Amino acid sequence: MTINGVLSILKNLIDVSLVWIFIYAILKNLKNNIKMVMILKGVLIIIIVKLLSDYLNLKTVGLILEYTITWGPLALIIIFQPEIRNALEQLGKKQILTKHRSLTLDEREKVVYEIINSVDYMRKSRIGGLIVIEREISLNDYVTKSKTLYADISAELLISIFFPRNPLHDGGVIIQGNKITSAGAVFPISLNSKINKKLGTRHRAALGISEESDCIALVVSEETGKISIAINGILNYNLSLDDARMILIEELKPKKELLLDEQFDEESELDTDEKK
């Protein structure tokens, strides 16, 4: 086989791989985007009706569907321009390296400890709250539109923010790393038609922001004191305090933890002591 033949095969493999990566990325994020699911259902219905009209020789229906298929993509771009813009923005929001996310094990435990302590107090006192924890996708757009704090995280500060007489208690708190970045944040309301109608604005906002990003949205109900956590458009409702703690600990773990030299030395020393 010549070099040109090998290069041609490599080009074809790269071409096919890029297409499959693109399809995989769409399917992976499709379940978390209610609007995109609705669009896909509409497109599938049009295709099915078009096939039926061709099979049954329905000329009028077929002609209308031909115009729909021809001009449909342009209409979708115009109608769903905000959603397309948000999808493109999320590509730019993807953060690979960020100071907020490089937390040590002790820092992550402290974050969870302070959040759980505040949630415990709020549920007992029937204080409503919405705490959103940023992960890979940036929430800076919501930070800039809310009251910037950038304070060390503490249970006392979280409780004081959501205290009923505080002007910021109606909005949400955004946590980036181990800092409370802002308060009074307003998040999009989920349009999922399957949401229980008994759920209030906080729960719908938690679902809404979890559909748009990979954040963790924790809600304390003002009426019932129940704890809920929304992740990837799924609401874990009426959690116990221990369940909420375990979910936070698990979800805040980095995808890949680097073993630092200091940690390696400490573990080596422990292994040596155990052997002795």
pLDDT tens, position by position, 111-145: 999 999 999 999 999 999 999 999 888 888 899 88
Mean pLDDT of 170-177: 92
154 or 166: which carries more pLDDT confidence? 154
pLDDT tens, position by position, 243-271: 999 999 999 887 654 444 444 444 445 44
81 or 7: which carries more pLDDT confidence? 7
Fill in the DSSP letter of residue 190.
P
Look up residue 251 and give its two tokens. Answer: 């979800």
Strands 147-152 and 129-133: unpaired
CA atoms within 13 A on the CB side of 87: 15
47 or 275: which carries more pLDDT confidence? 47
Residue 151 has pLDDT above 50, yes or no: yes
Domain limits, the chain = 3-93, 105-251
Please say whether the dihedral angle defined by the alpha carbons of residues 162, 207, 115 and 245, taken in this order, is positive or negative.
Answer: positive
∠ CA(145), CA(150), CA(156), 5° rounding? 110
Report the pLDDT value the prediction gives residue 259, as an integer from 0 to 100. Answer: 45
pLDDT tens, position by position, 192-238: 777 888 888 999 999 999 988 889 999 999 999 999 999 988 999 99
User: What is the homologous superfamily of the domain 105-251 according to CATH?
Assistant: DNA integrity scanning protein, DisA, N-terminal domain (3.40.1700.10)
Look up residue 32 and give its two tokens. Answer: 């978390």
Report the pLDDT value the prediction gives residue 87, as an integer from 0 to 100. Answer: 60
Residue 17 has pLDDT above 70, yes or no: yes
